[in-house]
């Protein structure tokens, strides 16, 4: 069997186990598979497919490998600075004008939770004693249930804090068995849920939606499906934040206006 057919049959084998990886860019999928092939000391996708079929533990290892879970607190600090200094204050101003106290935020592709927790800290820093004046809902979704389970613990190693100010780390974390645990009152603000962005219904009435450094791994047709759902999800005037290497598809340029081109921040028209 040639290698290309081997990868095709491997995708079908993975689908039988309940995971549809057809939306991944072909280059990304093959690169990740080859990592697992090398670990298992096989040289063909067909040989790896037999291992995957007979070893449940290998399937779990593959899911971890396919997931995109590289993240840190306040990754891309300049993006968070714009969110703190411009976006959240504008959302608060809009809520005041509409006489509304409900704020809804969605972190799509949240991995192990650093992004939504970073947003909680920003909001706490901005509102302080006024936190109780608002009903704030922060939804965090990801395809990887293992990553979500780790996120819910709120426990992180030192390496996750390299782009976070030390003052914030001391304020919101306590040392725990050589790691750091989020203080009470932070974890409770985030609602984690497993979600496939392509097949699931979007979260609605969202004021701020972040999906960063995920779409670059997704094929173009699937991206269009996801962007359409994001557009449905956002309130009028809601904000969309992408990763630094990501841009809006041409089909959506008339549905969003650019707020900050460098930080990839857009507003629903």
Given a cut of 60, is residue 121 above it in pLDDT?
yes
Three-state helix/strand/coil letters over the chain = CCHHHHHHHHHHHHHHCCCCCCCECHHHHHHHHHHHHHHCCCCCHHHHHHHHHHCHHHHHHHHHHHCCCCCCCCCCHHHHHHHHHHHHHHHHHHHHHHCCCEEEEEEECCCCCHHHHHHHHHHHHHHHHHHHHCEEEEEEEECCHHHHHHHHHCEECHHHHCCCCHHHHHHHEEEECCEEEECCCCHHHEEEEECCCCCCCCCCCEEEEEECCCHHHECHHHHHHHHHHHHHHEEEEEEEEECCCCCCCHHHCCCEEEEECCCCEEEEC
The residue range of the domain holding 178 is 77-268
What pLDDT is attached to residue 68? 67
Residue whose C-alpha is closest to residue 235's, from 116, 95, 80: 95
Percentage, residues of the chain above pLDDT 90: 75
Report long-range pairs for 34-39 (Cβ below 8 Å, ≥24 apart).
35/65, 36/61, 36/62, 36/65
Domain co-membership, 87 together with 59: no
pLDDT for position 150:
93
Q: Is 113 a domain residue?
A: yes
Label residue 81 by pLDDT band (50, 70, 90): very high
Q: Do 137 and 96 belong to one domain?
A: yes
165 and 129 within one domain = yes
pLDDT in tens, 124-146: 999 999 999 999 999 999 988 88
Predicted pLDDT of residue 242: 97
Give the pLDDT score at 125.
96
Same domain for 42 and 93? no
Residue 164 in this model has a pLDDT that exceeds 70:
yes
Question: Angle CA(230)–CA(238)–CA(252) in degrees, nearest 5?
Answer: 50
CATH of the domain at 231: 3.40.50.150
* Same domain assignment for residues 174 and 252: yes
Is 118 found in the same domain as 179? Answer: yes
User: Last residue of a domain, which of 18, 36, 66?
Assistant: 66
Rounded Cα distance, 240 and 248, in Å: 10
Mean per-residue pLDDT over the chain, rounded: 93
Q: Identify whether residues 115 and 60 lie together within a single domain.
A: no
Checking if the pLDDT of 98 tops 70, the result is yes
Per-residue pLDDT, averaged over 245-251, amounts to 91
Residues 54 and 125 in one domain: no
Question: Would the pLDDT of 255 be above 90?
Answer: yes
User: Residue 141 half-sphere exposure, CB side, CA atoms within 13 Å?
Assistant: 17
pLDDT of residue 233 exceeding 70, the answer is yes
Is the confidence at residue 20, as pLDDT, over 90? no
Is residue 3 over pLDDT 80?
Answer: yes
Provide mean pLDDT across the span 241-249.
93
pLDDT at residue number 124: 96
Q: Is residue 72 part of a domain?
A: no
Output the CA torsion sign for 246, 249, 250, 255. Answer: negative
What is the average per-residue pLDDT within 195-202? 93
Please tell me whether residues 101 and 217 are part of one structural domain. Answer: yes
Decide which of 97 and 14 is more confident: 97
pLDDT digits (tens, 9 = 90+) for 201-210: 999 999 999 9
- Single residue among 66, 87, 107 that ends a domain in this structure: 66
The reply to whether 186 and 231 lie within a common domain is yes
Domain count, the chain: 2
Query: Does 223 reside within a domain?
Result: yes
pLDDT at 5 over 60: yes
């Amino acid at each position: 069997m040639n290698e290309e057919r081997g990868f095709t049959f491997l995708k079908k084998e993975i689908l039988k186990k309940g995971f549809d990886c057809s939306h991944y860019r072909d280059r990304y999928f093959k690169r990740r598979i080859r990592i697992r092939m090398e670990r298992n000391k096989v040289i063909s996708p067909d040989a790896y497919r037999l291992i995957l079929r007979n070893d449940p533990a290998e399937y779990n290892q593959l899911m971890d490998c396919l997931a995109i879970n590289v993240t840190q607190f306040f990754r891309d600090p300049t993006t968070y600075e714009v969110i703190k200094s411009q976006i959240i204050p504008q959302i608060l101003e809009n809520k005041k004008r509409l006489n509304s106290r409900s704020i809804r935020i969605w972190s799509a592709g949240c991995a192990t939770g650093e992004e939504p927790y970073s947003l909680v800290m920003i909001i706490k820093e901005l509102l302080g004693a006024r936190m109780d004046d608002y009903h704030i809902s922060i939804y965090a979704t990801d395809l990887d249930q293992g990553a979500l389970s780790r996120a819910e613990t709120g426990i992180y190693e030192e390496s996750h804090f390299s782009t976070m100010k030390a003052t914030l780390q001391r304020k919101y974390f306590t040392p725990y068995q050589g790691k750091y645990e989020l203080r009470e009152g932070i974890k409770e603000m985030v609602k984690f849920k497993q979600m496939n962005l392509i097949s699931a219904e979007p979260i609605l009435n969202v004021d701020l939606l972040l999906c960063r450094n995920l779409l670059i791994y997704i094929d173009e047709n699937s991206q269009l499906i996801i962007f359409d759902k994001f557009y449905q999800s956002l309130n009028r005037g809601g904000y969309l934040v992408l990763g630094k290497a990501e841009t809006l598809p041409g089909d959506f340029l008339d549905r969003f206006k650019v707020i900050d081109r460098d930080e990839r921040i857009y507003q629903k028209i």
